[in-house]
Amino acid sequence: MQFIETRGNDGKKPSSVQFSEAILSPSASFGGLYVPQTLPELDRDFLTSHLSSHYKSLALDFLDRFGIDISKEVLEAAVDRYDGFDNPQNPVPVVQIENDCFVSELYHGQTRAFKDMALQPFGYILSKTAQQRGENYLIMAATSGDTGPATLETFKNQANIKVACLYPDGGTSDVQRLQMVTEDAENLKVIGVKGNFDDTQHALKELLASEDFKAQLEARGIKLSAANSVNFGRIIFQIIYHIHSYLALVREEAIAMGEEVYMVVPSGNFGNALGAYYAKKAGLPVKKILIASNINNILSDWINTGIYDISDRELVLTESPAMDILKSSNIERVMFDKFGAERTKELMEALNANQRFELTPEELASLQEDFAATFSNDEEGEAVIAEYAKKGYIMDPHTATCFKAYRDLREEKIPTILYSTAEWTKFSTTVSKALGHVAENDLEALKWVSEKANVPVPFMISALFGKPVIHDTIVDKEDIKGEMLNFL
């Protein structure tokens, strides 16, 4: 399998690369991204053959069909990372909460968020590949709260790897921040940035594309890579759980094999939604992907109008902070797939230069063949959390945004899969507030919700509050580069 570039080739980089090269050096020509030249086919035989499969067997077969240049032994060891989840036999439970509504719980890993699903195996593969090549890498991650903890967890104490993780100071929950700043492995550096997530992600992309920064790293014998979903190593693992979730409904006899479902995806950087799109394109029977946003609803604007305009938008901090994003990286991969490299380059350059682009009516119609979108505000999300808590189901505020899409966007009342991207414990003050108690901090909220709703707090969350803070660096965005070089 070869990987090609979303904005075309600049004549300096190879016109196509293998998977290992795409994950080690994820920045493509003209600041673009790598995408697979083709997708494996998810035909009925493939799906039927995995009806009774273990999640790891499904993952290995899917990766084998992709034909990536990673050895079978490394892939097997990578998916063994799922053994560290709550239930190794079923790392992604799919729970029915309405007659036609099922929640795919993606948060049962080490850091209680869906990022573990991709970063646990991907981190192992990247580390092992670097070791096999005898190369040293700086892995950069910009986080709105969940990518950071998952990245640090997967790469800590890995040979040949150093990690610099950027997070917006004040833009995460207490738990998310503690998951990062209490990590004590020597190969990790966590940096708070004065600004929002878009500022941290922009800084990361600039450094990935900076020849001067790469030269300074090279002088230290270090190469540069990234753990955000700009890296296709993340996306390839995010396709798999969509397949698994569909098969779970077949196993439960909620649908017959081949029947279509809706998928509702809470979206910020669009990697989770992109995984669903690739699964649909490869043949998974998905009627449409319904995108749920918070009031930073740039994605619903784009999908409903074809206009992506952040020229006069200010990022608003909400109770669903992982979706507090205005520049969604992975829309680029969707546009490349639909409109080609030349048009994608034109659109992305317009966004960078003018903070705006607009699709043609024909392009918008093509986008709407696969996607519909809406958004919720914080009050609507809290109402959903309270409604389902009374029914015995506790969810986080990102999952809560899915219900407006579930109720308003479906053209047919067919079975629907909602993706729950984080455990409630990561956003306990919001959950506590929704249930009627305003807590001063996460620790108080965790105790109150646990007692009120009779739900446990996992040890890896409760233990955070007794750990010392190791990383207390907070910098202006202009100082990120210097801070990273000091770390190295």
Q: pLDDT category, 388, cuts 50, 70, 90?
A: very high
Q: Tell me, yes or no, whether 240 lies in a domain.
A: yes
Q: Please give the full DSSP string across 106-120, using - where no structure is assigned.
A: ---STTSBTHHHHHH
Continuous segment of H or E residues that includes residue 194: strand 188-194
- Whole-number mean pLDDT of the chain? 95
Burial grade of 188 (CB within 10 A; 0-12, 13-18, 19 or more): buried
Q: Say if 316 falls within a structural domain.
A: yes
pLDDT digits (tens, 9 = 90+) for 135-145: 999 998 888 88
**What ranges make up the beta strands (E) of 345-452?**
356-358, 371-375, 416-420
Q: Is residue 420 included in any domain, yes or no?
A: yes
Does residue 14 fall inside a structural domain?
no
In a domain, 403, yes or no: yes
Q: What is the pLDDT of residue 382?
A: 98
Helices vs. strands in the chain: H and E counts, helices first: 22, 16
Q: Is residue 478 part of a domain?
A: no
* pLDDT band at residue 226 under the 50/70/90 scheme: confident
CB–CB of 56/82 below 8 Å? yes
Whether residue 430 is predicted with pLDDT greater than 90 in this model: the reply is: yes
Q: Name the band, by pLDDT with cuts 50, 70 and 90, for residue 181.
A: very high
Strands 416-420 and 261-266: parallel
Q: In the sheet that 17-18 helps form, which strands lie side by side, from edge to edge?
A: 17-18, 2-5, 34-36
Task: Output the domain CATH number for residue 270.
Answer: 3.40.50.1100
- The Cα-based distances of 416 to 61, 101, 405 in angstroms read 25, 5, 11
Q: What is the pLDDT of residues 412-427, one digit of tens each?
A: 999 999 999 999 999 9
Q: Phi and psi dihedrals of 288, rounded to 5? A: -165, 155
Q: Is residue 176 assigned to a domain?
A: no
- Separation of CA 221 from chain center: 30
- pLDDT category of residue 208 using cuts at 50, 70 and 90: confident
For 143-166, the pLDDT digits (tens) are: 888 889 999 999 999 999 999 999
Contact between 93 and 406 under an 8 Å Cβ cutoff? The reply is no
Instruction: Give the domain range for residue 298.
Output: 82-111+233-466
Q: In this predicted structure, what is the pLDDT of residue 381? A: 98
Of residues 358 and 1, more confidence is placed in 358
pLDDT-above-70 percentage for the chain: 100
- Cα separation, 320 vs 172, in Å, equals 9
Q: Using CA atoms, how far apart are residues 105 and 245, in angstroms rounded to an integer? A: 9
Residue 125 included in any domain: no
Q: How far apart are CA 40 and CA 218, in angstroms?
A: 36
How many domains is the chain partitioned into structurally?
1
Give CA–CA dist 49/172, Å, rounded.
42
